[in-house]
Structure formats: C-alpha cells, structure tokens
Amino acid sequence: MTTTSLLLVARAPALVEDVPVPAIVDGTPLVIVRHGEQVSVFHGLCPHQGSLLADGEVVDGHLVCPGHGWRFDCASGRRDAGTRACLHRFTTHLVDDDIAIDADELQAFHAQRAGSAAATRRFDSLPGPHGLPLVGNLFQLRETDQHLVMEDWADEYGSMYRIRLGAYRILMVADPALVEDAFKRRPDTFRRMSTVEGIARGLKAAGVFTAEGDEWRRQRKVVVQALTHGHLKHFFPTMMRIVARLQRRWEQAADEGREIDLLDDLTRFTIDVTSTFAFGQDLNTIEGHEGALERQIGEIPKALSRRVTALVPYWNYVKLPADRTLDRALVGIHDTLGRLITDARRRLAEDPGLAARPGNYIEALVAQSDGGGFSDEDVTGNVMTLMLAGEETTARALAWLIHFMCERADLRDMLRAESDALLGDDELLQDFATHPRMVRIEAAALEAMRLKPAAPVLRLEALHDTVLGDVEVPARTPVFLLTRHASIRAQAATGAAAFDIERWIKADGSALDAGSAKAFFPFGAGPRFCPGRFLALLEIKGVISMLCRNFELERAGSGPVEEKLVFTMRPDNLVIRLKRRAGTPPAA
C-alpha cells in the first residue's frame, strides 16, 4: 500500500472527542468518531434503517443512532453484546495530521454490499390493473382516496406491480424489505419525484424536504443543527404555554357542552407552536386571533395537493382563481419572512452570543448558515417546510391518536395512568426531563402513525438505471412506495392491522424497543430520516398528557371517520365531546 492509495476522510486536529463527524468518500457516507485516544472510521449508515449516524451522539462510549437509538461501540462498531449487527470499521491511517482509509478496502466494501443482485424481470412484465388508452389508470384514482385503491391493487396484483397515469409508467412497491431498501438508497439512487421539487420551487418553499443530492447534504447539516435537543429544551416552556392555551379552549367547550372539531383545534395548536418556534411570532389562532400570515400559509397545502396530482403544470400557462389567490399569498409570506430574516441577522450581529442560544428557528438557521453559503432563500424554504410539516403531519398524527383513544377504553385508561403518574398534581407537563419517561404515550403515537400515516404513498423516481428486488427500473421511472401497506404486511403475524402499543415496548415495560420499528416509516428511513421528528413527538406528548390528565373524552357525531388524502392523510368527520375529569374546577 502506498500513500497514493489512501483516501483522506478528516483532519485529526479538527476532531473533537465524542462528536461524530460526517464524511463522504467516493459517494460513500462515513462517520468518524474520536473516543479517548482512538479514532474510528465507520460506514455512516445505521444497519437498521439506514439513518445517518453522524446525526447521532456519543453516550458512554457508544455511538447512538438518531433514528431508533441503536448503540454501537465506538471502538469496534459492534452493537449490544450478543447481537450480530455491527458497523463496518475501516482501517485508519494517520499521515501527518490526516486521517485516511485505504481505497482498495473501500472498493471491496462496495463490492460486498452490491452483492450479485441482477434483474430477472422487466418492468413491462409486471402485472397491474388495465387502463384506458392515453390516460391509463388515471380515472380509476380519485384524489382523496387514491391510496386505498393502490393498496387494494397491491392485494390483487402483489407487492410489485405497475400502473400508468398518462405518459408516466409507475412502479408500485408494497414489499417491506424493498420499501426500506429504496429509502436507504436515497439520495443517490432514488429521489423525490422531480415534479415535486419543481412545484416546491415554484412556491418558493424548497427546503431540505425537497432538496436532493449535494444540495440536500448542504441544507441538512444546517437544519439538523437548528433542531437539536438543546434548542427544543429551550423552546419547551413556550410550547407548554401554548398547550395550556389549548387546555383552556377545551375547558370552555366542556363547560358549554359544545362539540369539538378535533382536527381544526389541533391544526390551530400546531400552527401556533410552529410559528412561535419558527420565527418567534405566536399567531395565537387557538384564541381566534387569525391574521393574514396564517391565512396565507394555509394556501400552500391546498396548492401542493392540486399541483402534485396534476398531469400537466397548467398554472404555468393559465391562472385559475385559486392560483391567483396563491400568488397573492406567496407575496405576503415572503415579504414577512424577508423582514424576519433581516431582523434575525441584525440581532445576531449586535449580539454574537445569540448564536449559541437562538430564540427561534430562523435565528438558529441564520446562525448556522453564516459563512456557509446558506442563502435567505434557503432559510425561507426551510421555515416554510417546518410550518407545513407542523400544520399537516403533527396535527393529523394527534388527531388519529385521539380517534383511537375514543375507540379504545383500555388505551384511554393506560395513557391516563401514565399521565397521572408522571404529572402528579400538575395539570400539564412541567419538566422537559420527564418527557422521555412517557413510554406508553410515545408508543401509542407510533402505533397510530403506523396505521394512519400522514404519507401512505411516497412518490420517488430513479436517478439512473437500477434494480429493485429482481425488477429492472429504468432511469426516471416513478416509484411509488406504499408505506402503510408495507408496514402491515411486515408484521402480519403479530396482528398488524390491530392497534397494539405493546409491540413497541420492551417486555419489562421500561422503555421503547427500537428493534420494533421494522418496516415502519412515518418519519422516513435511511439517510433522509426526518430531522423534525423530536419536535413532533414532544408536541404529541404535551397534548396527550394534558388531555388524559384533565378530561374525559368520547366520540360525537355520527357516521364513520374516513381517511381523506389532501397532500397528507387526514381524518374526516372526527368530532369529539370533552368533560372535565372529577376534581377539576370549572372555568372562571
């Protein structure tokens, strides 16, 4: 071996003990860890679901995956004693102050991972539903329940089948192992459909959610740092003040005997939380203080839903009334965010110490981005991404969980017992350190998201000719992942269609079982695991513990609660009635 066969991965003086450092060498993600006197270079993806290990942390000599908490020894890469899972550890070489690995070893690692998989089936040989000339299966899919039709087709035609929507020939995947494989092979083999990125850019809402390739890597580093545990801990008291506001709204409804449109109330809550977290302005929609910005932001999900399902980008040629309303909303949003970003830069210039204790997401993004080529447009896109994710996904996850609580008395009793035990005499969660102990509430949230995910269909496309399973996938082929169907198939032997939080909890009941997350994708999987998942789970724990501690609940209204896909999957016709628990005083 000569120095010419070595590949530089890091500079030794730049390594800080117990701080994981990412690197990409020859397209391979790596993570470098210095623990004590030893420096280790590992493959950078967790063998569980492919999360980026450099986004994790080192605890007690173990590198902890940010996805589901798998722990790997910093010296050997081995997971817990007695298990076979292990990170590949590359032989490290110190040349002057450079940490390097051997190019031949990396090539051998690539060859081993590639294996001998080869296509045995052509795309055109796959089964699928018959369609019409020109339009294919387009008229067999309705916008709001297309996911149900696609899942029915998976039952009929198998875990890999094909459909056609106009000119698009689409590979449908419901096999859990192949869904997970596709997640892990992002962003270099599969990407979000390019039409989605184009639509987001047209809305000037392109952030880490829609970015791809090197652009995604650049943005993700900044966004992850802006959503750290420390920033969430700093924000926690503010979030709980908004939970208290929701509690007062529900107390008033209970005292008046009024029915509650649950999704509307929860959307107000998540808008208030995300607006305050994002740019330090509490819109206070819970108390009816709806302003122009809230109405303007509300136009974005509607536009995304219309445009993602459109066969042609008609808005580039003809503006319908809804498109003109959207254009006016975008002008208002970007004027507001532009002022907020300018103000954040001014505050950081006046007080450089603010970079270590930012008051909101914009300040955190600006602080992380200064000198790193992160533009105001990048900040705007990621703030809008956070607003949309908060309003859409977290509100719907909460609504579906409360729906299951209405249906299951045993679930209500279990979550109430945990809330009572952890909150004591308090009506709300007061201590940030308590939330990790809400094991059953988190397990219930995960189970609700497993059965009622915000995105039951994820639309990707192949960047180049590749193979998925045993099927050849030509470049630019759309690949639709049926994530909910895959999850239920993966755990069919355990009664996967039933709501059961015990599947998520260790046998002794002490903690979540990270290994239970097989084929479960509400926050994605692979390198693009959602960086905002901890904020979402913190909101869910705050609201559910408040609800259990203070109220009795029951379903109101009549008729079934139905799934309706409007950009994300929402519950339709979900109305509840609340009653104060015995011992709670009426509102003054």
**Could you give the maximum distance between any two Cα atoms of the chain, in Å?**
80
- C-alpha to C-alpha distances, 262 to 11, 101, 429, 448, nearest whole angstrom: 53, 55, 21, 16
Q: Rounded CA gap, 475 and 356, in Å? A: 44
Taking a C-beta distance cutoff of 8 angstroms, is the pair 395, 266 a contact?
yes
Q: DSSP state, 65?
A: P
Q: Is 291 helix (H, G, I), strand (E, B) or coil?
A: coil
Question: What's the token pair of residue 245?
Answer: 């506001």
Please check whether residue 575 is in contact with residue 260, taking contact to mean a CB–CB distance below 8 angstroms.
yes
Residue tagged 């309706």 (tokens): 564
Distance (Å, rounded) from C-alpha 235 to C-alpha 56?
21
Q: How far apart are the first and last CA of the chain?
A: 80
Cα separations (Å) of 412 from 376, 401, 429, 541, 547? 45, 10, 18, 14, 10
Tokens at residue 494, please?
A: 């355990």
Q: Determine if residue 530 is labeled as part of a ligand binding site.
A: yes
d(CA 103, CA 155): 46
Q: What pairing do the DSSP bridges indicate for beta strands 478-482 and 168-173? A: parallel
* Helical ranges in 470-557 per DSSP H: 483-490, 533-550
Q: Which CA distances in Å does 499 have to 170, 446, 475?
A: 31, 10, 39
| Closest by CA position to 20, among listed 7, 5, 33, 35 | 33
Residues making up the annotated binding site for heme are 530
Residue ranges of the annotated binding site are: 530
